[in-house]
Structures are given as C-alpha cells and as structure tokens.
Amino acid sequence: MNRRELLGVVGALGAGSGLGTSHGLADDHAKPTDNKLMAPVGNQHLHFCGIHVAKKDPRIQVITQHYCGMRGEPGSEMHQCLLYDSVGKGAKLLGVEYIISNELFQKLPEEEKKYWHVHTYEVLSGGLIAPGMAPPDEIAFMNGLLTTWGKSWHTWPDQTTPVPMGEPMLMWSLTGDGQGDPKVIGARDREFGVTTADIRKKRIDAIGYEVPAVPQPKSMDEVGRQWTATGEDKPTPKKK
C-alpha cells in the first residue's frame, strides 16, 4: 500500500454513528439509516492516539484521540480528523486536525507553514499509536504517516471548563527526547496497555531510522523541521 492508501486503513475503534442531545432533538430528525445525512461524520473511521503540545507553551500536553477520514475521492492528499479527549461515549470534542503529505506541505506559502507540525518523532518514538490495528498493519500505517504534516487547532483549550471557552489553541507535536511529560505518556500507556519504550524500539527496527532530534519552537512563527535542528533536514539511518 502507498501512503495515500495507508491513511484509509479502517481502525477497529470507529467513530459513533449517531448524534444526540439531552432532549433527544437530534434523534427526531437524523436517524442512523439516513446515510446521506451521516456521510461526513461516517467517514471518520480511522482511529489513532497521540499527545498534542501547545505551540505557545509546550508544558501544555494533551492525550488526543484522532478519528480521521479522507477528504474527497480515494487518493486524496488530505485527511480530516475530529479530535476527542477520550474514546468514551461522552468524550469532549477538542478540535480538528488536517493531515497532508510532505509534498503538499513543501508547496505551501512560507507564511502558512508555521501552522503545521511534523509527525516524524511521534511515529518513531512511539508517541503515536493505533491500538485498534494488528501490529503489522500499525507499522505499515505509521510508516505511511511518518513524513506527513498536521495542522491542529483545539477549540476546547481548557478541558476543565464545562463548555469550550477562550480562543482556539494551535497545537504542536513532540519533536525530540525529553519533551514529553512522563505523567501524560504514562497515562496514555496505561489506558491502552502499551509501553512507549517497547514501541519505540520496534518502530526504529521496522522503519530503519533513528528518532529525530528537533527542539520545540522558540516562537509561534517558527516553522517545524522533521529530522534535525540544523543543516540538511534528512533522517539518520538506524544504528547497527
């Protein structure tokens, strides 16, 4: 499978098929059988989990569940994701993320690039997981996600508030060792019964690259890099 096909892999943990309110109003107007009405959300069938970091303050780190689907026809270069704080029925809708290929990212205007974060470190370090996939499928999917870029806004920036409040927050990714909050990583690992360190070793062996070493951005205007802090931005082959 190529990268475009990989992002169409169906995760076992799918998005819910219905919408409801405390008064049942939605149920009166949109039944699950009304497929043409449910098509946009019914497309969000791919699930994976990562840790989002606020670009303005990397101390803000959030376990984020992604439910993604391809925009448009098969072979589309962009995927759209709904972001939640959990996989539970009453999960909070945190925001949205758009995912594009490196080829598309490189064609963006320079002013636009500052909004997009990399996925390379997250993939190779074990920061991203797809717990509904069989291990071989997860490796194949992560290999396809490796050089993609994401643009993510959390419209519910403070999860302690009863309703979304304040301005949307531009989110970033972990890009190097020592940046992740051990408590956040530990909570994610316990939730899905995984060990990030074990995943990291298997990813490096399977994909064949060492994890990147890129510091967090020093300003909101800084553009992300995939592999290195300076020089040519290319991967380091796995050490033998």
Question: Does a structural domain hold residue 240?
Answer: no
Q: Is residue 123 part of a domain?
A: yes
For the chain, give the longest Cα–Cα distance: 62
- Whether residue 70 lies inside any domain: the answer is yes
Inter-axis angle of helices 196-207 and 182-192, nearest 10? 80
State the Cα–Cα distance between residues 78 and 4, nearest whole angstrom: 9
What does pTM read for this prediction? 0.85
Q: pLDDT at residue 14 above 50?
A: no
Domain membership of residue 100 as a residue range: 3-12+31-207
| pLDDT at residue 22, as a whole number | 32
Q: What does the pLDDT average to over 137-145? A: 95
Q: Is residue 217 part of a domain?
A: no
pLDDT of residue 25: 35
Q: What count of Cα atoms within 13 Å lies in the side-chain half-sphere of residue 62?
A: 30
Whether pLDDT at 239 is above 60:
yes
SS3 100: strand
pLDDT of residue 76: 63
Strand stretches in 28-89, DSSP E: 46-54, 57-70, 78-84
Domain for residue 41, yes or no?
yes
In a domain, 47, yes or no: yes
222 inside domain: no
Confidence of residue 215 (pLDDT cuts 50, 70, 90): very high
Q: Are 142 and 84 in contact (CB under 8 A)?
A: no
| Average pLDDT value for the chain | 86
Q: How many structural domains compose the chain?
A: 1
Quote the CA–CA distance of 240 and 235 in Å, as a whole number: 15
> Is residue 187 one of the residues assigned to a domain?
yes
Share of the chain above pLDDT 70, in %: 83
pLDDT (tens digit, 9 = 90+) per residue, 69-110? 877 665 567 899 999 999 999 999 999 999 999 999 999 999
